[in-house]
Amino acid sequence: MKFQCAQVLHIGPYSTEPESLAKMKELMEEKNLIEKALHHEIYLSDPRRVPEEKMKTILRQPVKKEHKKVEKCNMRTSLKN
């Protein structure tokens, strides 16, 4: 199954992942993307062997294009004003 996603490489402890997720959300908003499903975490480091500050995790968010509602314009009313 193919899908579009936004992703970021988070470096640091798991407890600071929300900061990286917030940055990814900002980027998604700039690109008019919205969440399609829950995000995934791909752990690249073994927490038993790697110091917490050097842990690497890929945060991946499935996304879709946001379709903004377009208000219908009543031409008769618009032309009278």
Report the amino acid identity of residue 56: K
The tens digit of pLDDT for each residue in 7-48 reads: 999 999 999 999 999 999 999 999 999 999 999 999 999 999
- Least confident segment among 38-42, 44-48, 57-61, 74-78: 74-78
Examine residue 77 and state whether it is found in any structural domain, yes or no: no
Examine residue 80 and state whether it is found in any structural domain, yes or no: no
Examine residue 25 and state whether it is found in any structural domain, yes or no: yes
Angstrom distance (rounded) from CA 54 to CA 16: 12
User: Which residue, among 70, 59, 57, has the nearest Cα to 35 in the 3D structure?
Assistant: 59
Angstrom distance (rounded) from CA 71 to CA 80: 18
- Token readout for 39 is 């995000």
- Say if residues 59 and 24 touch (Cβ distance below 8 Å): yes
Examine residue 81 and state whether it is found in any structural domain, yes or no: no
Rg (CA), the chain: 20
